[in-house]
Amino acid sequence: MSDPPRDTHFGYRTVDLDAKQGMVDDVFRSVARRYDLMNDLMSGGLHRAWKDALVTAINPPRGDKLFRLIDVAGGTGDVAFRTVAAGGAGTRVTVCDINAEMLGVGRERAIARGLDAAVTFVEGNAEALPFPDKSFDAYAIAFGIRNVPRIEAALAEAYRVLRTGGRFLCLEFSTVDVPGLDTLYDLYSFNVIPALGRSVAGDAEAYRYLVESIRRFPRPEAFAAMMAAAGFRRAGAQPLTGGIVALHSGWRL
């Protein structure tokens, strides 16, 4: 049998699978403190609407019933805080991220908002989650999966930690298919975003990586096939804002 492929992409560069994770970690370590500000600036605030669509789909119960969400690649906790705000007293969110700097910013915020009982921060890799089988009611990953070198491994882990009847939700940049919007989006992505990255976060390269990694991510149909291969049922996607972003969903049934 031949060895599995060792190469993947870091933006448009071909790199070793293990090297990619190190490069991704450098990107987020360097931007952790300014990450949320950059999100607002780069998306013109749209990331808030996209995350609201994700939280609506997560649909945390309003009452006291225990509801356990794992927010993988959850970074500074934005999706976690929004989910707790939308849910009832039984809502618990575990933010799991590979980057200690991003988690550190999130932990400080949780304490400042008095949410440290409802939201916990755990360092871990999406490809090998440090949690038992079937331990969550829902799994969310927002703008995270394209950074993971072995997406198939992350999907298998998502399936493993979800209980039967649990939902997988993935918010990710997608493919703009609206004529006119695609050209504008290209101009914006390859010029404005790296320039913003340079002036606000002091790092144009990190933001060039971001744009390139977005373009390399599989189209919704291809990603749905990967989800189905991991065992998810009713795999599909809903495009948001002309396809700039898609909300992918599947169920462990």
Ligand X SMILES: C[S@@+](CC[C@H](N)C(=O)[O-])C[C@H]1O[C@@H](n2cnc3c(N)ncnc32)[C@H](O)[C@@H]1O
The distance of Cα 103 from the centroid of its chain, to the nearest Å, equals: 14
Cβ at position 75, least distance to ligand X in Å: 3
125 touches ligand X by CB under 6 A: yes
Q: State the residue for tokens 């990586």.
A: 209
CA distance 58 to 136: 12
Instruction: Convert residues 39-78 into a mask of x (bound to ligand X by CB under 6 A) and - (unbound).
Output: ---------------------------------xxxx--x
Strand intervals (E) in the chain: 7-10, 13-16, 67-72, 91-97, 119-123, 136-142, 162-173, 233-240, 245-251
98 touching ligand X, by CB under 6 A: yes
Shortest Cβ 65–ligand X spacing (Å): 25
The answer for residues whose C-beta is within 8 angstroms of residue 214's C-beta and 6 or more apart is 146, 173, 189
Among 147, 174, 213, 249, binds ligand X (CB under 6 A): 147
148 lies in the binding site for ligand X (CB under 6 A): yes
Query: Who contacts 104 (Cβ-Cβ below 8 Å, separation ≥6)?
Result: 32
Site for ligand X in 160-189 (CB under 6 A): none
CA-based R_g, the chain, Å: 17
Considering only the stretches 124-132, 176-184, 198-206, 229-237, report the one whose residues sit in contact with ligand X under the rule CB under 6 A. 124-132
Phi-psi region of 69 (alpha: psi -120 to 50; beta: other; left: phi over 0): beta
For residues 225 and 239, is the Cβ–Cβ distance under 8 A? no
**Closest chain position to ligand X (CB):** 75
- Which residue in this structure is represented by tokens 């970690």? 25
- Residue 81 within binding range of ligand X, rule CB under 6 A: no
Among 8, 83, 91, 99, the residue binding ligand X under the rule CB under 6 A is 99
Among 16, 26, 116, 127, binds ligand X (CB under 6 A): 127
User: Which segment (1-9, 84-92, 94-102, 242-250) binds ligand X by CB under 6 A?
Assistant: 94-102
23, 69, 70, 79: which one binds ligand X (CB under 6 A)? 79
Q: Does the footprint of ligand X cover residue 123 (CB under 6 A)?
A: no
Kindly list the residues in this chain that would bind ligand X in the complex (CB under 6 A). 21, 24, 28, 72-75, 78-79, 97-99, 102, 125-127, 142-144, 147-148
